[in-house]
């Protein structure tokens, strides 16, 4: 087994659906739980775009177990 690195953290990134109200548009929100420090938005947007998902905005949230989270 390899040691955790920035590319492979010791705890996985967790995704879960978030409830939102979108007026006049189709929006899907997800809450992302980060295993370590919250990354820069500029670093994660390209990852989501490669998956075909456009990030419209991000809001920092308190996470569980003192882990940071973001609503994208």
Residue-by-residue pLDDT tens, the chain, 72 positions: 445 454 555 556 777 777 656 565 566 788 888 888 888 889 888 988 998 888 888 888 876 667 788 888
pLDDT of res. 4: 47
pTM for the model: 0.60
Please write down the HEC assignment for all residues of 37-54. CCCCHHHHHHHHHHCCCC
Query: What is the C-alpha separation between 8 and 5, in angstroms, rounded?
Result: 5
Q: Categorise residue 50: left if φ over 0, alpha if ψ from -120 to 50, beta otherwise.
A: alpha
- Encoded tokens for 48: 């989501």
Q: Where are the domains of the chain?
A: 14-71
pLDDT of res. 20: 59
């Amino acid at each position: 087994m390899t040691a955790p690195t920035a590319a492979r953290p010791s705890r996985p990134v967790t995704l879960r659906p978030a409830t939102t109200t979108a007026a006049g548009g189709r929006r899907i929100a997800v809450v992302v739980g980060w295993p370590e420090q919250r990354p820069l938005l500029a670093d994660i947007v390209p990852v989501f775009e490669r998956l075909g998902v456009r990030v419209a905005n991000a809001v920092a949230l308190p996470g569980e177990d003192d882990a940071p989270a973001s609503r994208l």
